[in-house]
A = this chain, B = another copy of it.
Amino acid sequence: MTTTTAPTAASADAADSGKQLSLIDCDVHNAFSSPDEIARYLPKYFRQRGLSLPGRAGFSSPLGVARADAVPDEGGKPGSSIAKMREQLIDAYNMDYVILTGGGILSCGVHAEADYGAAVARAYNEWFAEKWLDADPRMLGSLLVAPNNPAEAVKEIRRIGGHERLVQVIMTSATRTALGDRFYWPIYEAACEMGMPVAVHPGAESTGIANTFAPGFPASYFEWHSNLSQNYMGQVSSLISRGVFCEFPQLKFVCIEGGIGWAPHLMWRLDKNWKSLRATTPWLTRPPSEYLVEHIRFTTQPIEEPEKKDHLLQILDMVHAEKTVMFSSDYPHWDNDCPVHGLPKLPEPLKQRIMWQNAAELYNLKPR
């Protein structure tokens, strides 16, 4: 296990250059203001229908999903203005890097028509390349794929995965078959070829071809949002138990916006079951929790906020946060976290790991 005090490659590089990283934000939502911005990049056959994505079963947040004060001065959607994002986030908090994760687009991965879903992902990437990729050296991008169409996802990763500012593959965390399924393995293979982590982000759960939650459909946005972490538990469980990290030992998997507090339970439950049932998973040569700590990364927002601050520190200890947890603001969403006040007071070495070091190591980021 990496200790919290040992110098890392990233910090050593920083010391060499005389510069220091101090803050990397791993979940920032860049938006398009109109569906036509994306649709114009669709191939002709699909372009005539425009951008058409799966929707939820009727419920929605009464607050909307974006901060009202993040609407750009010139109008449009929160997250659509490069200037506003600099002003409210990157400059305001002197961030070294932000990882852009898109917005309102991930559900292309649970579109019933897999070729349309893949075409939307590619169109989004082309729009992103034109508008965002060269906008600011502090803004890094995520390469969008539709996991329901692995063959097209692989082509897309090989097409543009080499761009230095595209630092990860991203896809919806909602699926019809769990992400450990061999169906998706070509995506992981291509990501590893490009040296990219694979990230998932919630939002499309219970839409399109995605399953709903095990007990049944949620009845409100409140219930839906509270349930999202269960899906993450199942995804991590399937990735580990089906041997994805044995086949792809370089693969890192980023669980964005799924919470953290469930991970200790899952680690212990997997380990306990593995002790009894390891004959059924002979590819797992170590306790499952070790694969989790080595291969899974969590972003902080929405971090749990127990009444007793010690409880959160205990959870962070249980999940080996010094290795697994990375700060995210989720700007400009309604429940976004401020880098200064979003987290409780942490011991300084752990704080550095969370606020920048873990992300710098994962994405191989150095001071500019």
Contacts and interface: CB of A to CB of B under 8 A. Distances in A.
Given A276-B334, A281-B220, A214 B241 contact: no
Contacts of A220: 241-242, 277, 280-281
A34 B81 CA distance: 69
Interface residues of A, number: 70
B265 A265 contact: yes
Contacts of A176: 216
Interface in A242-273: 242, 259-262, 264-273
A48 interface: no
B221 A227 contact: no
A277 B178 contact: no
Interface stretch (A98-106, A299-307, A339-347): A299-307
A145 B268 CA distance: 32
Contact of A230 (B218, B230, B318): B230
Contacts of A281: 220, 222
In the complex this chain forms, how many copies of it are found? 2
A274 B227 CA distance: 13
Contacts of A334: 276
A335 interface: yes
Given A63-B277, A205-B214, A277-B62, A227 B222 contact: no
Nearest to A318: B311
Nearest to A63: B276
Contacts of A277: 61-63, 220-222, 225
Contacts of A230: 213-214, 230, 233-234
Interface in A170-196: 174-181
A15 B199 CA distance: 59
